[in-house]
Structure 1
Amino acid sequence: MSTYETTSGPSGTTTGEPRWVLRTERTVYAVTLGGDGDGDGPAAGRWPELSVWGPRGAEDGPSPLDWSRRTHYLTPADIAPAEYIPAGQRPFTGADLVVARPDGERGVWWRFETAEQDDDRSLALTFLDEHLGLRVVLRYESVPDTDVVLRWTELSCAGADPLRLERLDSAAVNVPVGARGARLTALSGQWAQEFTRTRTELTRGRYEIGSTQGVPGHAYAPWLAVQDAALPEEGDTPTYGIALEWSGNWHISADAEPPGLVRVRAGRVPHEGAVLLRPGQTLSTPRLACAFSPEGLGGLSRVWHRYERRLSGDRLERTRKVLYNSWEATSFAVDADSQLELARAAADMGVELFVVDDGWFPGRDDETGGLGDWYPDPAAFPRGFGAFVDDVRALGMDFGLWVEPEAVSPRSRLYAEHPEWVYRVEGRPSRRVREQLLLDLGREDVQEFVLATLDGLLGEYAVSYLKWDMNRPPTERGRPGTRPAATDLDAEHVAGYLRVLDHLRERHPHVTVEGCASGGGRVEHATLARTDLVWPSDNTAPLDRLAIQYGYLHAHAPHTMSAWVTDSPGVFDPRPRSLDFRFVSALSGVLGIGADIRQWPAARRARAAEWIARYKDVRTLVHHGDVHLLGTPEDATYGTQHTAPDGGRIAVTALATGRLDGAPLTPGRPARLRLRGLDPADRYRDEDSGREYGAAHLLHAGLPFTWSADHDAELVVLSRLARESAATPAASRAARPEEQTRP
């Protein structure tokens, strides 16, 4: 069914142009046709344009992206807020699609064909270049119960000759801005410093981020937020965000264009430089998730959180158990006795899941061997691996394993039997990264090997948790026996990776899967839709990790964030912090322990057991509630607020991140964290102290915290009280005990 409205001109008059409107839970996204129809026929010279994107009701009036149509030394297509436009029609300011014939002719000059819309939830716009033999379908789909619109493009070779897709972006979005241009917020960094929030003001020119490492990488996340630079980051600021659902090479670019517009494009980047599309073939680009919030970066983060809870589906209801991981305690020196010693200590603290990390398979005395030979080392488990797993489970914990299915060690049996399975360029040397090579997961025989290996482990042993790691990007990315121009190795590897994850979901639905790529190297929506949680970084130092988690929570939901308590010292910020600080920081995600707990004294273990019990009490609230980030880790006091959907319960983590104020030796006042998103008429009680607060007080003055050398973190849990009747005398409310500062 195709339905559309008509657009309004600058004065509010009807122009007669069709306008297709999609609606989300609280927002609207409207598209119209641009161009003047010059060329052969009335549908030629047309392209899709954004009419309005914002809160519901924003479509009632002239488009905020409308412009004078005057151009000098440019074409109208170069200035238009085009949703998707090919080279040929947009010659100067950057196109989203570049297609060439094998003989070298480049450019697309399409004509608009049809529009198909299903109510206000989905839309398909079809364009055809008959001369080139290319059909393009632009897909839109609003996601129920969220404020996210998904966009992607289907490219079909409708002619007799193959086509070279030299650029194949998923979509473009347009944001109107004022004279100061746009403020772009990205998540950048490096290994051990992922998800660092960075800001760039773009008045004119181009900003671009991406990865050619075969994974999203540590340098940038495939995520971007856009705001008018003249407005504040938080508060009532319209904020637009995109996130690319792709596990391989990618790019996002933003162009500040002449008439007060920032145009953002995103898509995959073929390793070979182009993709060959043969007659009759159709290629779908990765989906681009487009999100809007009128409530600044914090509001946008909550839109992403709701979307990722929807991606988790029924598995969102699965309890994310407190885990212990053995890596930092034993490294490669894995054997049954040492692991059981750790398991007993973990069980005594209330841990629910014990994970054996790297080193459980033969030849893995260090990083030079073993990868690919995925069976338990009989020397390390003399009574049998099954008996060892049973011993762990007898302690009342589930059992998990670390694997790196895409990697192979040159000294392994697997590599000796199948050297052709690794990426390599014929006649050229193969580079080792971390003393290992990378399997070509785009090959079906490699996929079958990985599937059989994981099926065997999960079928023979009572394993209910897998940590999937990837510790090296592809370097010499070639497949001997094939022509590079005829292959799409990046997309084939992604398809193989996702096929294995889909198989695990279907064949082993009871197994929880954690995604990892040497830390946060592969965190995006395709992975998050198929795993239960991810590992944001290998850096677990307290203040370093707090900054990483702060950036992560801007884009991703707490139930996806694995967060460990370890003894690691700071990498970038070496200031020491207490065990309480490490636990309170980790409470904002999925709690894990990674230290050598055999070395912890009894008092430290007892304190850890108390924190584990507190986490179990609030984890449902943390994983399902609305999140507000209270300040930044650069502030002297920083926290996170997790509010139940009905507002009935709140968990607040508070952390002293700066210097102490000298109290009680010098005059000072408690630090405070002002809460967000509450009904001012409500009242709350601190579940530990019994102290009561009016919600208006929590919003205006905030929760008080007095820090000291021995007290640098706290978890506060508040429960909403029943509303008092209107007859309650004001005097009785005023007679309540005065607020006291927290110890």
Structure 2
Amino acid sequence: MSRQASPTDPWILRTEHTAYAVALDPSGRWAELSAWGPHGIETGPSPMHWSRRTHFLTPADAAPAEHLPQGLRPFTGADLIAHHPGGPRGSWYAFTGVDQDGDQALRLHFDDELLGLRTTLHYQVVAGTDVIQRWTELTCTGDRELRLERFDSAAVNVPVDRARLTYLAGQWSQEFQLTQLELARGRFEMTSSQGVPGHAYAPWLAVQDATASAHGPTATYGIALAWPGNWRISADAEPGGAVRVRAGRLPDQGAVRLAPGASLTTPVLACAFSPDGLDGLARVWHQYERVLAGERLLRPRKVLYNSWEATGFDVRAADQLELARTAAELGVELFVVDDGWFPGRHDDTGGLGDWYPDPEKFPEGFDHFIGKVRALGLDFGLWVEPEAVSPASQLYAEHPDWVYRLDGRPATLVRNQLLLDLGRAEVQEFVLATLDRLLSSHDISYLKWDMNRPPTERGRPGQQPDQNSEGPDVEYQDLDAAHVAGYLRVLDRLRSAHPQVTVEGCAGGGGRIEHATLARTDVVWPSDNTAPMDRLRIQYGYLHAHAAHTMSSWVTDAPGLFDPRPRSLAFRFVTAISGVLGIGADIRAWTERQREEAAGWIARYKQVRDVVHHGEVHLLNSPADPTCGLQFQTPDRDRVVVTAWSTGLLDGAPLVPGRPARLRLRDLDPAAGYLDQDGGTRYSGAHLMHAGLPYAWTPERDAELTVLVRT
């Protein structure tokens, strides 16, 4: 280990376009942010510089610290609360060394010798992105057990006087609603204790100066926590003019125990910066998720048909094949049988856990059925919910101890099912063996992993009292972390054993979407709501945080839940084409004209999906505006794909004189020509950016896909 030559000399980390500078405070006891922004931001006086005069605070309480324990920072929010059983809450650490790998990785070490705790702050630049990953490693170096009540991954400091916070809020069927507030002073907090990130909030936050435009070119800082369990994010507008964001796990038992010699590693907190507003920050996150996908990104996202909307639990081979034949005629490439294919699954009261094809539903055999689907030129996929079990299932009869339960307490049924304790090694092996058997025994190339209930009564049957614990005599178990570790282990082994299988993540819609899951799946299901205007708002928010190649989107016949305005089939297709196109409607009931239109949209999707999934994205206006759209383009700006929607009122449009709506594009070559491949109109880049693409919306034409080629 080495030390800085001077406490004021910063350590510099460099991403593709940004710099992140960290220095020790003058006392040498903690690390502070010195600068974060575009290359060169580190040259000159630090924008985080402060006078270090404090009244009724300690210096650490006012510092832009990267991480501080409660003992040093007692008043304004500590990132670490640690103590011995029965001892005082608090830790006082000091800097003891550094390891640095050029400008790409950094590790800062802090020790509390009296408590017996080492804290190591990790920083890692993600090559090819403007993202720095941060996490903390905590090691018990003494001979007594430690209790960790709070152990955030990191703190992120943003130099703004009045903050505009942008976050993604909602509920089931209304996830990813882009929401903003100004935080002049005080604290803002988001949490989930549902064992998954949940539908109410996404573990993602963006911070801007409230005096700047929300979507225009302005410095924008973002964080995202990679943790598919309980979590929290808080933002404090602090004395002196700054915002300090903290993020990390939320321990489900109140505290986590750390035995002598043991270490705990917190979840990764990804930190991103863009000078180009929320629109630019979205592109930073999209590129990061492409890096997380690795080689899997090269696999085309196929057009999917899912049978759930058409048949529900009433799965019968003849009906499924009728749907598959119709889907193949439309140009669909993948057929997925959803819930209802296994024994006892006639409604949501039975069957979960007994993962074998029901011979009554597939009388000629499951493989014979799959063979007929594949003979149509379709890949085959299957829905599973491997973490759940029905009380009436054979699995529950044989292993009632595998579910979360508290002795002497009633079990709560959610969706008429219980949740398996995936933290148990035997449960993990069961799930792995089940999925491996299905994928090895049958010609399945797509797996939809669903989870439709949070954990309740979170305990293990037969657990023994712990006489050494504080508070109630309950044996300590870090069940949330154990479940997360089991979930990720199963996914990792599944991907290793079956690398060619496409995996879709789902949790009652968008209940478990974060970077740990996205790194191990190919696509995710943002919401169970597929109504046209509702879905557009969901996807608009989603694309601020996540990439289009991860966003599964279906065309269905669903009526609006939150916005009942009718929209055309074209509107639904253009919405779905903006992600990974799927169809979930009962296409048997579609008219011949509807099927012809659908086939045309599917053919167009296949022509543009490489740009949608691999290109740079600009968010044009919002669903709250009369016209909104998305602009996807290749990095060289030679191909531009625009999906656009009429989101305003259409009443009177044929009668009242007016001009076409205009959607102004961004980041084109102003001197170049761009040809509309379908309409034949030629535009200059300057015209498209300053006058915009024209749309003469009518009730029959309320959405459009435009492909522009540079000439």
Q: TM-score, normalised by structure 1?
A: 0.94
What are the within-5 Å matches in structure 2 for residues 598-677 of structure 1? 598-660=588-650, 662-677=652-667
Q: Which residue of 2 aligns with 1:283?
A: 264
- Quick one: distance in 2 between partners of 1:642 and 1:299? 13
Query: In the alignment, does 2:4 pair up with 1:21?
Result: no
- Quick one: distance in 2 between partners of 1:452 and 1:610? 42
Q: Which residue of 2 aligns with 1:491?
A: 481
> Could you tell me which amino acid in structure 1 is paired with residue 690 of structure 2?
H
Q: How much has 1:486 moved relative to structure 2?
A: 2.7
Query: In the alignment, does 2:85 pair up with 1:102?
Result: yes
Q: How much has 1:661 moved relative to structure 2?
A: 6.7
Q: Which residue of 2 aligns with 1:372?
A: 353
1:92 to 43, 58, 75: 75
Q: Deviations over 1:220-259 (max 9, x none)?
A: 0000000011111122210000000000000000000011
Q: Which residue of 2 aligns with 1:32?
A: 23
Q: How much has 1:157 moved relative to structure 2?
A: 0.6
2:146 to 158, 163, 167: 163
Q: Which residue of 2 aligns with 1:197?
A: 178
Q: How much has 1:171 moved relative to structure 2?
A: 0.2
What are the within-5 Å matches in structure 2 for residues 344-355 of structure 1? 344-355=325-336
Q: Which residue of 2 aligns with 1:120?
A: 103
- Quick one: distance in 1 between partners of 2:429 and 2:399? 13
Q: How much has 1:645 moved relative to structure 2?
A: 1.2
Q: Which residue of 1 aligns with 2:471?
A: none
- Quick one: distance in 2 between partners of 1:583 and 1:390? 29
* Uncovered stretches (5+) of structure 2, i.e. residues with no partner: 465-473
1:454 to 416, 432, 435: 435
**Are the counterparts in 1 of residues 253 and 476 from structure 2 also a CA contact under 8 Å?**
no
Q: Which residue of 1 aligns with 2:468?
A: none
Q: Deviations over 1:398-423 (max 9, x none)?
A: 00000000000000000000000000
- Quick one: distance in 1 between partners of 2:618 and 2:463? 51
What are the within-5 Å matches in structure 2 for residues 582-593 of structure 1? 582-593=572-583
Q: Which residue of 1 aligns with 2:156?
A: 173
Q: Which residue of 1 aligns with 2:469?
A: none
Q: How much has 1:481 moved relative to structure 2?
A: 3.2
Query: In the alignment, does 2:699 pair up with 1:718?
Result: no
> Could you tell me which amino acid in structure 1 is paired with residue 524 of structure 2?
V
Distance 1:2 1:595, change over 3 A: farther
- Quick one: distance in 1 between partners of 2:5 and 2:654? 67
Q: Deviations over 1:86-140 (max 9, x none)?
A: 0000011110000010122221111211011000000000011111110110000
Q: How much has 1:680 moved relative to structure 2?
A: 1.2
> Could you tell me which amino acid in structure 2 is paired with residue 538 of structure 1?
D
- Quick one: distance in 1 between partners of 2:207 and 2:8? 28
CA RMSD of aligned residues (A): 1.1
1:55 to 35, 38, 46: 38
- Quick one: distance in 2 between partners of 1:521 and 1:670? 39
Q: Which residue of 2 aligns with 1:10?
A: none
What are the within-5 Å matches in structure 2 for residues 198-597 of structure 1? 198-482=179-463, 484-597=474-587
- Quick one: distance in 1 between partners of 2:266 and 2:40? 31
- Quick one: distance in 1 between partners of 2:164 and 2:405? 42
- Quick one: distance in 2 between partners of 1:36 and 1:601? 75
Q: TM-score, normalised by structure 2?
A: 0.98
* Identity value in percent: 69
- Quick one: distance in 2 between partners of 1:485 and 1:445? 20
> Could you tell me which amino acid in structure 1 is paired with residue 25 of structure 2?
G
Q: Deviations over 1:503-522 (max 9, x none)?
A: 11100001000000000000
Q: Deviations over 1:605-656 (max 9, x none)?
A: 1110000000000000000001011100011111100011111100001111
**Are the counterparts in 2 of residues 2 and 115 from structure 1 also a CA contact under 8 Å?**
yes
**Are the counterparts in 2 of residues 35 and 77 from structure 1 also a CA contact under 8 Å?**
no
Q: How much has 1:210 moved relative to structure 2?
A: 1.2
- Quick one: distance in 2 between partners of 1:101 and 1:71? 30
* Uncovered stretches (5+) of structure 1, i.e. residues with no partner: 7-15, 38-45, 722-743
Q: Deviations over 1:349-394 (max 9, x none)?
A: 0000000000000000000000000000000001100100000000
Q: How much has 1:681 moved relative to structure 2?
A: 1.6
- Quick one: distance in 2 between partners of 1:665 and 1:277? 72
Q: How much has 1:662 moved relative to structure 2?
A: 3.3
Q: Deviations over 1:688-714 (max 9, x none)?
A: 122110000100000000011211111
- Quick one: distance in 2 between partners of 1:640 and 1:161? 56
Distance 1:485 1:87, change over 3 A: farther
> Could you tell me which amino acid in structure 2 is paired with residue 495 of structure 1?
A
1:708 to 690, 698, 702: 698
- Quick one: distance in 2 between partners of 1:226 and 1:481? 46
**Are the counterparts in 2 of residues 683 and 692 from structure 1 also a CA contact under 8 Å?**
yes
Q: Deviations over 1:314-364 (max 9, x none)?
A: 000001000000000000000100100000000000000000000000000
**Are the counterparts in 1 of residues 225 and 269 from structure 2 also a CA contact under 8 Å?**
yes
**Are the counterparts in 2 of residues 226 and 239 from structure 1 also a CA contact under 8 Å?**
yes
> Could you tell me which amino acid in structure 2 is paired with residue 566 of structure 1?
T
- Quick one: distance in 2 between partners of 1:3 and 1:306? 34
**Are the counterparts in 1 of residues 252 and 480 from structure 2 also a CA contact under 8 Å?**
yes
